[in-house]
Amino acid sequence: MAHRDHTLRWLALASFLLVVIACFVPGWLLNQMLFASARGLAVLGLLVLWRAGLVSLGGALFFGLGAYSVALLQRMAGITDALLLLALAAGISGLSGFVLGFLLRRYRGIFFAMMNLAFSMILYGAAVKNRALGSTDGFGVAQPSFFGITFAEPADAKLALFAVLVVAGYAVMCCVHWYWKSTLGWLGAAVRDNEIRVEYLGYSVERVIHVKYTLSAVLGGLGGAFLAMGLGQVDPDSMINWVASGEMLFVMILSGSASVAAPFVGSFLFELLRTYALEVAPLAWQFIIGATLVLLILFAPNGVWSIFARLFGRAAAR
């Protein structure tokens, strides 16, 4: 009897429960859930590349591009609808990734990683030196509307934005899950193992990488757009700088690559870890995060999702 994949059903149930839980949690925890889910979208984009053996040190490039797209579209075009802003930000990031993909699809290993970092720092420098982009301080993002409805209470607007984020996140996870099970998705692992054999089979390795890079850019821009609207602020240091790219890599390693839901779980754990590390040891919170990463690599090299998978596997066996 063929094995039936119930991943999407479990993800739908988890998404529904997450929205219900968000209605009753305090404001600070809702913010953490919102920020973690937005970063999880960008990390999922990096995971698409990672499955093909590609590591990007410039994940903040499209994350920041999506965030600034929302802010500039609000300021210059007067667009306030959240769904339209999200679609435009994802489209701008995807188009940018598609254009850059013609160059970056030729590189592998450290060269691919550093080229992405270089482009992200070019965007960072442009944002820092340009007064129209707010320079180092950035500028504010107004509360968006939802189908023409504007909420009077900021808490209600945050909850509505989180509900949209959960729905969008579920749709993205479904699309990436189907993509990984398609021929083009499976080619990622083949490219990682042996590019020459992929070429012998009649597939273009560069085209495979180009598609993955464009998809990664769309997800990064979408995550940045959600964060900009949830935070109500854009600035280069927290959204484009190499530190933001490093945090995404940390979350990707923390999460593991076994599931489309892993980046969201890992991102939420990272937000909690950073929050409590800052509270317990404000002068040494980086040490706590670094030590956590070392322990994770030593005892759970496949990420925290592998721990959940083992626990659920044992429960199913029993």
pLDDT 10s digits, 274-283: 888 888 877 7
> Does 131 have pLDDT greater than 70?
yes
> Does 317 have pLDDT greater than 60?
no
Residue 142, pLDDT score: 84
If you average pLDDT over residues 111-134, what whole number do you get?
A: 88
Q: Which residues lie below 8 Å from residue 110, measured CB to CB, with a gap of 6+?
A: none
If you average pLDDT over residues 157-177, what whole number do you get?
A: 90
From first CA to last CA, the distance across the chain in angstroms is 21
Residue 192, pLDDT score: 85
Residue 318, pLDDT score: 45
* Domain chopping of the chain, boundaries: 24-242
Q: Which two tokens stand for residue 282?
A: 């404000």
Strands 139-140 and 233-234: antiparallel
Burial tier of 275 (Cβ tally within 10 Å: 0-12, 13-18, 19+): middle
Residue 309, pLDDT score: 67
Residue 218, pLDDT score: 95
- If residue 234 lies in a helix (H) or strand (E), which one and from where to where? strand 233-234
CA distance 267 to 283: 22
Highest mean pLDDT among 65-79, 149-163, 185-199, 257-271: 65-79
**Average pLDDT over the chain, rounded to an integer:** 85
Task: Answer whether 177's CB lies under 8 Å from 49's CB.
Answer: no
> Does 16 have pLDDT greater than 80?
yes
pLDDT-above-70 percentage for the chain: 95
| pTM assigned to the model | 0.89
pLDDT-above-90 percentage for the chain: 30
The residue behind tokens 């980046």 is 263
Q: Which two tokens stand for residue 120?
A: 């992200």
Residue 149 in 3-state DSSP? strand
Residue 311, pLDDT score: 66
Number of helices and strands (H, E) in the chain?
A: 14, 2
Q: Which two tokens stand for residue 122?
A: 């070019």
**Helix ranges restricted to H, 194-301:** 195-200, 205-231, 236-239, 242-255, 262-280, 285-299
> Does 225 have pLDDT greater than 90?
yes
Residue 312, pLDDT score: 60
